[in-house]
């Protein structure tokens, strides 16, 4: 009697462990699919952001001297778009994190080539 009960318990444990192993494989597969989906979404968002950056901005000839041009800046803009709006910076410092300085004391901070923040001239 004890041996039949022990065999039943062992079979039950083996079945349960097998089920857990199968569930673990499914969870890992789902986690991979979620990660791949996140990566694809990130790429698509980047493409959309770049298209928004490429929209033609109405720029006055004043460049960095015009407060209206400073107010056209948005976070995430690339360096070429900022250059089209404000013109060439007086001085540039940095690399991955770069700061563009303008003669009117305005600054634009870039992180990995995208606008992170800026300070309008006073």
- Asked if 118 and 73 count as a contact pair (C-beta separation under 8 A), the reply is yes
Distance CA 115, CA 24 (A): 42
Question: What pLDDT sits at residue 34?
Answer: 81
- Taken in order 108, 109, 115, 120, the sign of the CA dihedral is negative
Break the chain into its structural domains and give their ranges: 1-55, 63-119
| Three-class secondary structure of residue 74 per DSSP | coil
In order along its 122 residues, the chain shows pLDDT tens digits of 567 777 777 767 667 766 666 777 888 888 888 888 777 777 777 667 766 655 555 555 789 999 999 999 999 999 999 999 999 999 999 989 999 999 999 999 999 999 999 999 88
CATH number for the domain whose boundaries are 63-119? 3.30.1450.10
Question: What pLDDT sits at residue 27?
Answer: 82
Question: What pLDDT sits at residue 52?
Answer: 60
What radius of gyration do the chain's Cα atoms show?
Answer: 29
Q: What are phi and psi of 64, to 5 degrees?
A: -65, -15
Question: What pLDDT sits at residue 2?
Answer: 63
Cα angle value 38/39/44 (rounded, 5°): 95
């Amino acid at each position: 009697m004890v041996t039949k009960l022990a065999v039943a318990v062992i079979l039950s444990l083996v079945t349960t462990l097998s089920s857990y192993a199968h569930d673990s494989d499914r969870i890992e597969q789902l986690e991979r699919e979620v990660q791949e989906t996140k990566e694809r979404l990130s790429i698509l968002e980047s493409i959309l952001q770049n298209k928004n950056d490429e929209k033609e901005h109405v720029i006055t000839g004043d460049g960095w001297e015009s407060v209206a041009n400073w107010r056209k800046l948005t976070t995430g803009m690339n360096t070429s778009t900022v250059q089209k709006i404000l013109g060439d910076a007086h001085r540039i410092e940095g690399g991955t994190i770069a700061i563009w300085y303008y003669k009117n004391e305005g600054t634009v901070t870039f992180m990995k080539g995208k606008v992170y923040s800026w300070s309008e001239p006073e």
